[in-house]
Structure 1
Amino acid sequence: MLYAERLTVPLRWWVQGTMLVASFWFAVAVAVPSVLAAALVALAFGLLVAAGFLSYGKAKVSVGEGELHAGRAHISLAHVRGAEALDAERTRLVAGREADARAYLLLRPYLKRSVRVWIEDDRDPTPYWLISTRRPKALVAALEQTTSH
């Protein structure tokens, strides 16, 4: 494996989720005894928030064994024709005003930088993949290392 990254949600989301659950607890505690409120909120909202964050943050990006994986999608590196690291502003533009509706996107709002991977496959109309990452230069380097051979 030349590159591997999990797009986990940041700590600040967990803090905000905890505050949301605490707010629900305060609202429920007014109507029912606080022990019951704590149990209800912990089960209903706490587990729901945690499950949502864990599910949303389980997306992986990896390069290895002849393939690029981004979330549930994967493609042979034989179809990769280049990659470019994008800063926050370029990511915003490429994901927005300059976007191609045929592109594959794996974006996370808490990751501002990304990599655009150019795809060339006669059987697939996707022109590029836009992938959020914490380490865009490392991802580009891994793709360049595998596609230069």
Structure 2
Amino acid sequence: MTSYRERLSPPLQVFVALLLVVPASVLVFLPINVPVGWGVGIALFVGFGLALWFGSPVLTVAEEGFRAGRAILYPGEIGAAAAFSGEEATAERGVRLDARAWTLFRGWVKPVIKIGLTDPNDPAPYWLVSTRHPERLSLAIDAIRPRTPGR
């Protein structure tokens, strides 16, 4: 059972800007064949749009662990999770970022979640992942962490 799922897809503005490939294709094919230009432009728009949508990583939290794209953290490897937004998120992605950290950023998603790791053999000290709902994701991750005495 999945307790959290989020696709880090681009915002509508990116797809609106992508529409510019249609008139650009028409202009390129203008001396050759205008209908072909329209067809190529529409095909490029649909193709790039689908690539952007399906190429966007998905974040999921389930009993098996936390998935960020193709990477997975199993419950026993998950430490404390902290949510950041605004200037704090910018600092976490910038001046406070440890070069050894595992990251999954998307420029159009500003908030981040920082997940500590409990595996002493892991070279990454933590994961830093973009998310639109850092508080909800943090709660979902905390719910699958193994309970230790005193928690």
- TM-score bracket, normalised by the shorter chain, equals 0.7 to 0.9
Q: Tell me the residue number matched to 1:145.
A: 143
Q: Tell me the residue number matched to 1:102.
A: 100
Q: CA deviation at 1:95?
A: 1.4
Q: Tell me the residue number matched to 2:55.
A: 56
1:112 equivalent among 110, 114, 121: 110
Identity in percent: 27
More divergent stretch after superposition (93-102 vs 127-136): 93-102
Q: Tell me the residue number matched to 2:90.
A: 92
Change (3 A) 1:26 1:36: closer
Work out whether residues 26 and 38 of structure 2, in 8 Å CA contact, stay in contact via their aligned partners in 1: no
Q: CA deviation at 1:3?
A: 1.3
Structure 2 residues not aligned, in runs of 5+: none
Q: Tell me the residue number matched to 2:8.
A: 7
* CA distance in structure 1 between the aligned counterparts of 2:81 and 2:40, rounded to whole angstroms: 48
Q: Tell me the residue number matched to 1:135.
A: 133
Q: CA deviation at 1:97?
A: 1.7
* CA distance in structure 2 between the aligned counterparts of 1:146 and 1:63, rounded to whole angstroms: 8
* CA distance in structure 1 between the aligned counterparts of 2:52 and 2:90, rounded to whole angstroms: 23
Q: Tell me the residue number matched to 1:72.
A: 70
Work out whether residues 9 and 56 of structure 1, in 8 Å CA contact, stay in contact via their aligned partners in 2: no
Deviations 1:70-127 (A, max 9, x none): 1110011111110111013222211122211111111111111111111121221111
* CA distance in structure 2 between the aligned counterparts of 1:109 and 1:14, rounded to whole angstroms: 15
Q: CA deviation at 1:12?
A: 1.2
Which structure has greater helix proportion? 1
Number of equivalent positions? 146
Normalising by structure 2, we get a TM-score of: 0.86
* CA distance in structure 1 between the aligned counterparts of 2:7 and 2:50, rounded to whole angstroms: 16
CA RMSD of the aligned region, Å?
Answer: 1.7
1:24 aligns with 2:18: no
